[in-house]
């Protein structure tokens, strides 16, 4: 039988994970926009756990794992760091596997 302190710690850990999931979701949405990732499911086998429904969920899982493993705070301050880590992965998948993962953006200047 679990003692009261252990039960309270477990509940706190679950709550922290819930907050981290919300931040991971927000960061994933920002990454989808900033890196011009198109909807679909091509990233699912390559990012995250492979069981996600679509690219957004795959990026969300990737963000959660990266921030957890590297002990990065789940905050918008991490967006540039996460972009710099994910962009080469997207580029490699596009170049090596021929996936079209991102919208082509033309800058008028």
Contacts of 9 (CB under 8 A, 6+ apart): none
Report the C-alpha gap between 10 and 86 in whole angstroms.
Answer: 32
- pLDDT single digits (tens) 18-67: 778 889 999 999 999 999 999 999 999 999 888 999 999 999 999 999 99
**Residue 102: phi, psi to the nearest 5?**
-130, 150
The per-residue pLDDT for 8 is: 55
Q: What percent of the chain has pLDDT over 90?
A: 55
The H or E element containing residue 106 is none
pTM: 0.80
């Amino acid at each position: 039988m679990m003692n009261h302190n252990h039960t309270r710690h477990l509940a706190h850990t679950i709550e922290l994970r819930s907050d981290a999931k919300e931040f991971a979701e927000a960061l994933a949405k920002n990454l989808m926009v900033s890196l011009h990732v198109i909807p679909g499911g091509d990233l699912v086998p390559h990012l995250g756990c492979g069981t996600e429904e679509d690219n957004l969920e795959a990026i969300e899982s990737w963000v959660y794992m990266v921030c957890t493993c590297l002990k990065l705070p789940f905050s918008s301050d991490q967006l540039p760091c996460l972009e710099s880590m994910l962009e080469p992965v997207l580029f490699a998948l596009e170049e090596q596997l021929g996936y079209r993962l991102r919208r082509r953006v033309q800058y008028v200047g």
